[in-house]
Amino acid sequence: MASRLRIPTSPRDEARMTLIEHLGELRSRIIKVAAVFVLAAIVTWFFRERLFYFLLEPAGGQFQDQKLVVTAVGEQFISDMKLALWAAFVLAIPVLLYQAWAFVAPAVGDMGRITTYIIITLASSLFLAGIAFGYYFVLPAGLQFLLFWDQGRYETMITPTYYLSFTTRFLLACGLVFELPAATYVCAKLGLIDANLLKKYRKHAIVGNTILAAAITPSPDPFTMIMLAVPLVIMYELSIVIARYVNPTTEVTAHELARTDDEDEPDYTDDRDDDDYDPEPHEENGNERDL
């Protein structure tokens, strides 16, 4: 009986089989994340009412005496479905991060189980901390500014589609922003960055964090922007500390490396007198060329 096992006869065939194996592993990990996400969505569906009122609290007393206005058929159901899926995504973040890291970890080398647990715990905790910070500090200030703006001329009528999309996207943005220390830990572990590099671009990072805070804050007032920009700067400084601990490169070492590079460069200077030295000798006659 002929065997169905295909033996690679060339490096190209072997690389092709390796690619197929990677795609199979990626498919397996995506299925695991999807299964966890679906189970989490089923659980969060039963808590959709609590989640709804939980997201209304940052608005203060705006919706105590009135309900959100529905302007389309089925908007209530779709809004609850999106809310349950958003909460399921937040719950599935640790599993998503673990499967993503487990897929890319073999390509960067064996870092050990403890390092994996540290990365997943750090990234998940920072993501939840970003959501909590946005919910308790930044989002209430922004909503108070926007919803109560000039009530003498405007009557506020908010739809659940707009309000829930606004709050959930903003909280997800805060969670992603707080992932900077975890990303720094991974990059420092791989040797891509160190504390000296982060210190060098500190001023650029402060300007970039301020622009990012102004872009994702829910209100245009400078107070809300500063409330988000300050934690971003703190996260960057924390990243410097993490990079120094994970990938220690002192300033003395950096100076020695720079000095070594300077010493390795060839010296083209010559001690001979410029008047006596001619880099291109002149030929007196055609016979010298033959010699």
- Position 223 pLDDT exceeds 80: no
Q: Does residue 226 sit within a domain?
A: yes
CA dihedral (73, 76, 81, 84) in degrees, to 10, reads 170
Query: How much is the pLDDT for 7?
Result: 40
- Position 5 pLDDT exceeds 50: no
- For the residues 58-87, what does the mean pLDDT come to? 87
51 confidence band (pLDDT: 50, 70, 90): very high
259 confidence band (pLDDT: 50, 70, 90): low
SS3 7: coil
- Position 290 pLDDT exceeds 50: no
Residue 280 main-chain phi, psi, to 5 deg: -120, 95
Query: How much is the pLDDT for 186?
Result: 83
289 confidence band (pLDDT: 50, 70, 90): very low
- Position 14 pLDDT exceeds 90: no
In the chain, % of residues over pLDDT 90: 31
Q: Does residue 277 sit within a domain?
A: no
Q: Does residue 269 sit within a domain?
A: no
169: left (phi over 0), alpha (psi -120 to 50) or beta: alpha
Distance of CA 183 to the CA centre of its chain: 6
- For the residues 145-171, what does the mean pLDDT come to? 86
Query: How much is the pLDDT for 280?
Result: 54
Say if residues 133 and 231 touch (Cβ distance below 8 Å).
yes
Query: How much is the pLDDT for 110?
Result: 61
3-state helix, strand, coil split of the chain in percent (to 5) is 70, 0, 30
Q: Give the span between the Cα atoms of 236 and 234, in whole angstroms.
A: 5
Give the domain extent around 73. Answer: 17-147+155-262
Q: Does residue 271 sit within a domain?
A: no
Say if residues 133 and 178 touch (Cβ distance below 8 Å).
yes
- Position 224 pLDDT exceeds 70: yes
Q: Does residue 11 sit within a domain?
A: no
The total of structural domains in the chain comes to 1
Q: Which of 3-12, 14-23, 203-212, 234-243 has the lowest mean pLDDT?
A: 3-12
Average pLDDT of the chain?
Answer: 79
Q: Does residue 8 sit within a domain?
A: no
Q: Does residue 83 sit within a domain?
A: yes
Q: How many CB atoms lie within 10 A of CB 234?
A: 12
Rg of the chain over all Cα atoms, to the nearest angstrom: 30
Query: How much is the pLDDT for 99?
Result: 92
Higher pLDDT, 149 or 84: 84
Q: Give strand ranges (E) for the chain.
A: none
263 confidence band (pLDDT: 50, 70, 90): low
Which amino acid would we find at residue 100? A
Q: Does residue 80 sit within a domain?
A: yes
Higher pLDDT, 150 or 252: 150
Say if residues 141 and 184 touch (Cβ distance below 8 Å).
no
Residue 231 burial class via C-beta count within 10 angstroms: exposed 0-12, middle 13-18, buried 19 and up: buried
Q: Give the span between the Cα atoms of 30 and 7, in whole angstroms.
A: 28
